[in-house]
Structure formats: C-alpha cells, structure tokens
Chains A and B, each alone.
Chain A
C-alpha cells in the first residue's frame, strides 16, 4: 500500500461543476502539499498545509491531521483547470517528500 493515496485516479467534469480530489496518507507528517501538473509536464505548487484550510481563488485545500486526510476543491471548474493534481507529504520520520500518483482531471466545456 502506498504511503500517499489519491482518489479518484481520473475525474471528468462539465464546466462549472464543483470538484473534490482526495488525499490520504499513512505516515506522520509536518506538511502536505498540493501540486498541479500541466499537460506539458510542468509542475506548479498550489498549497502547503499543516492544519486547517487555505483558499486561493477558486481553489480550496483542507487537511484533517487526526484523520490523515486532505481534500482539494475546485469551485466553478473551467477547462483550463484540466491537469494532474498531485498530493505530497513531508514525512516527520524521514523529513522527505512522498508523492501521490496524481489525479487526472479533465473539465469539458
């Protein structure tokens, strides 16, 4: 079992829909990151969370430390949101980043 699991693996949506991507992890962490990988391959950091909730534009990220779970929400989704969304955690014990395998999101007009 991977230490970082994302669900779903693939997600399709119609423009305007509310999107939720989930990340569960099994190790103690100091922080959790959400990343966006564009179709060309480049990766952009979206959020770093250690507790609570963060919002940036139409993106909202939440984390529940007790349940070892984080969600990334996209409100009013748009085709330009189509990308792979990657969850990564920094392990307290090894101090290294562990990456999930990503969720591929396609938003259709």
Chain B
C-alpha cells in the first residue's frame, strides 16, 4: 500500500536557524510531490511541487526552498528561518497516471514554531 511519512511532527526553532523537513513516500514510484503550508484561518497554500527527481517548481516567493534528491524523498529547507515561517507544513503525493483529479495523499504535517 502507498504511504507517506513526514517528520518531525513538531519543531521549535529560533529565528535565523536552518530548517530541514523531510517527507518520504512508499508503495509507488515517481509520484508527484507537494509541500503545502496551512496558516490559521487560511486555506492550504501550495509552496512547491515536483514531478520528478531534481525538478522543483515554486509557487510563491519566500524564504524556503525544496529539493528532491531521490524519487520518493522531498525536503523543505531554509537557511535562516523568519518568524513568519511559523505554521503547519504538509507534504503530499499524487500517483501519476490516474488523472489530475486523483486523490492527494497527505502526511501528518509538521507544526513549526519559530521563536
């Protein structure tokens, strides 16, 4: 079966420190991968998506970057965190070949607090 693992579940980091959130997918090859941010009172916002290894598309300008070093690994990073980076981050994948409206499968999310 297809599963997605995202860690850590919670993270408290000081302003100016680096960030690395990791997401891995099992049970399918070459998935489309996504990073979303969920801010209080707002809908999920797509940050990055990837259709293959090394292929990253950024949706919004920001202090974050993403990388896909392996087929089923997606990493969200920052060199120096800002207070405004606090939020709930969700990784998701979609199996290719089932249509653009096939289900998104989400990880359990990471709650990031920048202090």
Contacts and interface: CB of A to CB of B under 8 A. Distances in A.
A and B together in one complex: yes
Interface of A: 2, 4, 30-31, 33, 40-45, 48, 50, 86, 88, 90, 95-102
Contact of B111 (A41, A50, A86): A41
Given A42-B108, A44-B106, A102 B101 contact: no
B88 interface: yes
Contacts of B111: 41
B15 interface: no
Contacts, number: 51
Give the contact-size bracket for chain B. Answer: 20 to 34
A42 B103 contact: no
B83 interface: no
24 contacts: A2-B43, A30-B100, A33-B103, A41-B88, A41-B90, A41-B108, A41-B109, A41-B111, A42-B106, A42-B107, A42-B108, A43-B90, A43-B104, A43-B106, A44-B106, A45-B104, A45-B105, A48-B102, A48-B103, A86-B44, A95-B100, A96-B46, A99-B43, A101-B43
- Interface SS, B side: loop
- Interface SS, A side: strand
B45, B106, B107 — most chain A CB neighbours (10 Å): B106
Nearest to B109: A41
Nearest to B43: A99
Nearest to B103: A45
